[in-house]
């Protein structure tokens, strides 16, 4: 018996040009899905799309017309529509709360929350019409634990958890599942900026004694995207080496 065979399904992975999104695109493709990756940088998107042999869309999600651009470009790259939406693109603009600028809050909430909501709103009607869909939102361990210097990021990711739970209840009847994956600390460009001595401190708090790999997050996303995960909705799958084991 094959497991998590995604043949016949098309996935859109935002932030699919690198890190967790790239690993996810690669795995979904390996499991048989047609995949479209979306990223902000034209060259990086093209490079990754060629490397993974998937379709690429270069759209800056910070731009107000980004969702309209995606909606008008999708029919060419995904003529059959999107069955699996992985809302993975995300940014951090860290700093102590009293030093975080209004602009940093706006950027983080726009990319990490508002565009997730808007893209989901754009793609959901087709899923409910088809009576099948998988929406997987990237949350974070820190939205469950708290973390110094990340009030804006954690606010956005905590909202994603609420959005996931509430929407899951609305669309379960239509066989559309909505789940979140909450990675712990994963070795990507996002965490590369953490100074080495701080990284060491985090590792001391991780029972698995290491940062996670992007492929380990991708595996959780691919599972939730599978047909076999049909009865799992509204949940958060924590992938963190044991760092946080609460709900
Ligand atoms: P990353 O920085 O390596 O990649 C982020 C991706 O988002 C890139 O592909 C980038 O092109 C895309 N992106 C950023 N701004 C964009 C914009 N304006 N328009 C379009 N695309 C944009 O990050 P990552 O570590 O792979 O993180 C992926 C997701 O996982 C994020 O939502 C992040 O918050 C979450 N996460 C990461 C970690 C970690 O430790 N790396 C931990 C918890 C949660």
pLDDT single digits (tens) 64-113: 999 999 999 999 999 999 999 999 999 999 999 999 999 999 999 999 99
- Measured distance CA(235)–CA(177) in Å, rounded: 10
- DSSP class of residue 52? H
Indicate if ligand 1 lies below 6 Å from the C-beta of 62.
Answer: yes
What pLDDT, on the 0 to 100 scale, is given for residue 2?
A: 85
**Binding site membership of 21 for ligand 1 (Cβ less than 6 Å):** yes
pLDDT for 49: 98
d(CA 43, CA 29): 21
The model carries a pTM of: 0.98
Cα 30 to middle of ligand 1, angstroms: 21
Q: Is the pLDDT of residue 1 over 80?
A: no
Are the C-beta atoms of residues 27 and 213 closer than 8 Å to each other? no
Can you say how many angstroms the Cα of residue 165 is from the centroid of all Cα atoms in its chain? 15
pLDDT tens per residue, range 193-218: 889 999 999 999 999 999 999 999 99
Residue 129 has pLDDT above 70, yes or no: yes
Cβ(176)–Cβ(229) below 8 Å: no
Ligand 1 contact, 138 CB (< 6 A): yes
User: At 246, is the pLDDT very low, low, confident or very high (cuts 50, 70, 90)?
Assistant: confident
Whole-angstrom CA distances from 35 to 29, 50, 55, 155, 192 are 6, 12, 6, 30, 27
Q: By C-alpha distance, which of 139, 136, 180, 182 is closest to 157?
A: 139
């Amino acid at each position: 018996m094959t497991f998590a065979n995604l043949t016949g399904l098309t996935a859109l992975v935002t932030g699919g040009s690198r890190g967790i999104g790239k690993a996810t695109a690669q795995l979904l493709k390996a499991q048989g899905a047609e995949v479209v990756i979306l990223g902000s940088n034209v060259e990086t998107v093209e490079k990754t799309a060629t490397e993974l042999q998937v379709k690429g869309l270069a759209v800056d999600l910070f731009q107000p017309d980004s969702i309209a651009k995606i909606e008008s470009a999708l029919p060419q790259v995904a003529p059959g529509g999107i069955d699996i939406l992985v809302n993975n693109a995300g940014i951090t603009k860290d700093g102590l709360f009293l030093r975080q600028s209004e602009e940093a809050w706006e950027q983080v909430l726009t990319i990490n929350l508002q565009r997730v909501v808007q893209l989901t709103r754009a793609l959901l009607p087709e899923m409910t019409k088809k009576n099948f869909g998988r929406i997987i939102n990237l949350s974070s361990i820190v939205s469950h634990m708290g973390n110094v210097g990340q009030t804006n990021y954690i606010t956005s990711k905590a909202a994603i958890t609420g959005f996931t739970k509430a929407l899951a209840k609305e669309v379960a009847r239509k066989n559309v599942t909505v789940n979140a994956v909450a990675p712990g600390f994963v070795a990507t460009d996002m965490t590369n900026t953490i100074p080495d001595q701080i990284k060491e401190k985090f590792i001391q708090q991780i029972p698995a004694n290491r940062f996670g790999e992007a492929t380990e997050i991708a595996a959780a996303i691919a599972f939730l995207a599978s047909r076999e995960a049909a009865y799992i909705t509204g949940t958060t799958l924590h992938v963190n080496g044991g760092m946080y084991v609460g709900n």
